Amino acid sequence: MIDAEMLRIFTAELELCKVKPGETVAILSAATKKADYAQAFLVAVQNLGASVFHINIPALASANAAGVIGKTPLAGNRAAIEALKSADMVIDLMGMLFSAEQLEIQAAGTRILMVMEPLHVLKQMFPSTEQRRRVETGAEMLRKARELRFTSAAGTDLRYGLQQYPVMTQYGYTDTPGRWDHFPSAFLFTQGNDEDIDGTVVLMPGDILCAFKRYIQAPVKLTVKRGYVTAIEGDGIDAALLRDYIESFRDPRAYAISHIGWGMHERANWYHMISTDKLPEERVMNALSFYGNVLFSTGPNTELGGTNDTACHLDIPMRNCSLFLDNQQIVDAGRIVVPELQAAGR
Ligand SMILES: [Fe+2]
């Protein structure tokens, strides 16, 4: 049985991705994960007149533990990788994110759409062409900037030198050969130049530790020197958890500063996690995308072409911050202030 609403949402998503007759779409899944999505996508692609096939592979025994990224059960499965490269588009229900296999498939010109969120989030945050326009406008501004700085009344003041790394956009669909996106999402980011990120970050109650699915409860002060966190201070549980967690990787590169950007999804909810925190299928796309968050992160930079592939990755969407590109203010205390970037009514 295929859920009618699921089929309607997936068909609309594939239309945004411009799936059309003559194209071939591959669906990738691991074990029994998202089996209902795989079946619904098979039908949705067929309804649009394109060819479709489904590759189902075993799951890794330890797949998807918090912070473990870049290792997928696709590694070494040459026949499956070649089949995925032969498609115009891959719908990734497994989570290839950051892996060498994903980069190889993209390099073949295959566009990739990752779909991991539960159906109610796909519906709530369903993408729009208007969101894409705003995210791409923001990306143009970010590409030109030589410096990004973000601040907060709580004491954050962190400066990133820019231009060494590309800018990446996420607007929740993809119709461009070789481009990856995640359905649904709306944010953009880049990476500071190597050894050129300095200052202080003060995490405040309500900021989100995505890897823990947890809201910060007590202030944490991070000191950043030449692109690395050099001190984690705070009397509360969060500073202790962060110190212990990062140290557990026994990897100095775990302390590196990773991507930086801001959220632009006007229908994503900051409070999402508190209303769903006991449900294992819930993920973090509301947290990463909510409108006006400054998305600070630590750990790897391979997604943007860097060489740090540490397995310790912390995405930390922050509220009430201000963000500047060179001297132009983009976000003011959690509010996007550039008219071309503002959602209607915000
Ligand atoms: Fe991240």
Q: Please tell me the distance between residue 259's alpha carbon and the centre of ligand 1 in angstroms.
A: 7
Q: Please tell me the distance between residue 40's alpha carbon and the centre of ligand 1 in angstroms.
A: 28
Q: Please tell me the distance between residue 42's alpha carbon and the centre of ligand 1 in angstroms.
A: 29
Q: Please tell me the distance between residue 157's alpha carbon and the centre of ligand 1 in angstroms.
A: 20
Q: Please tell me the distance between residue 301's alpha carbon and the centre of ligand 1 in angstroms.
A: 9
- One-letter amino acid of 44: A
Q: Please tell me the distance between residue 48's alpha carbon and the centre of ligand 1 in angstroms.
A: 33
56 φ/ψ angles, rounded to the nearest 5 degrees:
-120, 120
Q: Please tell me the distance between residue 160's alpha carbon and the centre of ligand 1 in angstroms.
A: 17
Q: Please tell me the distance between residue 21's alpha carbon and the centre of ligand 1 in angstroms.
A: 35
Written as tens digits, the pLDDT of the chain (346 aa) is 889 999 999 999 999 999 999 999 999 999 999 999 999 999 999 999 999 999 999 987 654 444 455 578 898 899 999 999 999 999 999 998 778 899 999 999 999 999 999 999 999 999 999 999 999 999 999 999 999 999 999 999 999 999 999 999 999 999 999 999 999 999 999 999 999 999 999 999 999 999 999 999 999 999 999 999 999 999 999 999 999 999 999 999 999 999 999 999 999 999 998 887 667 788 899 999 999 999 999 999 988 999 998 989 999 999 999 999 998 999 999 999 999 999 998 8
Q: Please tell me the distance between residue 231's alpha carbon and the centre of ligand 1 in angstroms.
A: 21
pLDDT at residue 1 in the model: 81
Q: Please tell me the distance between residue 46's alpha carbon and the centre of ligand 1 in angstroms.
A: 33
pLDDT at residue 302 in the model: 87
Q: Please tell me the distance between residue 92's alpha carbon and the centre of ligand 1 in angstroms.
A: 17
Q: Please tell me the distance between residue 186's alpha carbon and the centre of ligand 1 in angstroms.
A: 13
Q: Please tell me the distance between residue 45's alpha carbon and the centre of ligand 1 in angstroms.
A: 30
Q: Please tell me the distance between residue 313's alpha carbon and the centre of ligand 1 in angstroms.
A: 7
Q: Please tell me the distance between residue 144's alpha carbon and the centre of ligand 1 in angstroms.
A: 22
